[in-house]
Amino acid sequence: MSRNKREELIRNALKIFYRNGFNATGMDLVAKESGVSKTSIYNHFRTKDELILAVLRLRDENFRDWLFRRMEELSAAPAGQLLALFDALEEWFAEDGYQGCMFVKASAEFQDADNAINRQSYAHKLLIEDHLTQLADAAGYATPRAIARQLLILKEGAIVLSAMSHDKAAAQQAKAMAQLLLRVD
């Protein structure tokens, strides 16, 4: 399988796992829906877990690229970008096919703290927290890491609530709480 075919398999598997979940999706379904034989899949990924990790790496890269770019588009100022996080989330919540956070789902299905899938899911959250910390620092907050962690908690709560309620309002509700935290109007 060429590199392009491998990347296409990962992109297709991302859609399948996002839609169906990880444990509920067998490799037969991945092969069928991606048009790649199981033998070809296993030539590149020794296990289903390896494919899941590749999917999570792609999702992490795509999501962070989109989120950070969107925050910058919505506000040039670091403090404004911290609040724009929630406007970007609202846009995501309104997308067709939105089903919550793939990383939350993965960590729920692979709960052992030593599991590579669980660790990679949490690493995604830490990368977002790092970006929020940099923004909070640039905005002049005295405790940027604490601010970032609190914003991350608001973000994650909004994602979970929106997925469960099928209502995008959680983004703006979390934004209102973030405005109190950041002491801005």
**CATH code for the domain in which residue 152 is found:** 1.10.357.10
- Number of Cβ within a 10 Å radius of residue 172: 14
Has residue 167 been placed in a domain?
yes
Contact 34, 54 (CB under 8 A): no
pLDDT at 1: 53
Domains identified in the chain, total number? 1
Has residue 71 been placed in a domain?
yes
For the segment 30-75, what is each residue's pLDDT rounded down to a tens digit?
999 999 899 999 989 999 999 999 999 999 999 999 999 999 999 9
Has residue 136 been placed in a domain?
yes
The token pair that represents 137 in the structure block: 């620092």
Has residue 99 been placed in a domain?
yes
For the segment 74-118, what is each residue's pLDDT rounded down to a tens digit?
999 999 999 999 999 999 999 999 999 999 999 999 999 999 999
Has residue 10 been placed in a domain?
no
Start-to-end C-alpha separation, the chain: 54
In degrees to the nearest 10, what's the CA dihedral of 93, 95, 97, 101? -30
Contact 148, 127 (CB under 8 A): no
This prediction has a pTM of 0.94
Domain that holds residue 157: 56-182
Contact 108, 159 (CB under 8 A): no
- Report the alpha-carbon angle 101-109-169, nearest 5: 25
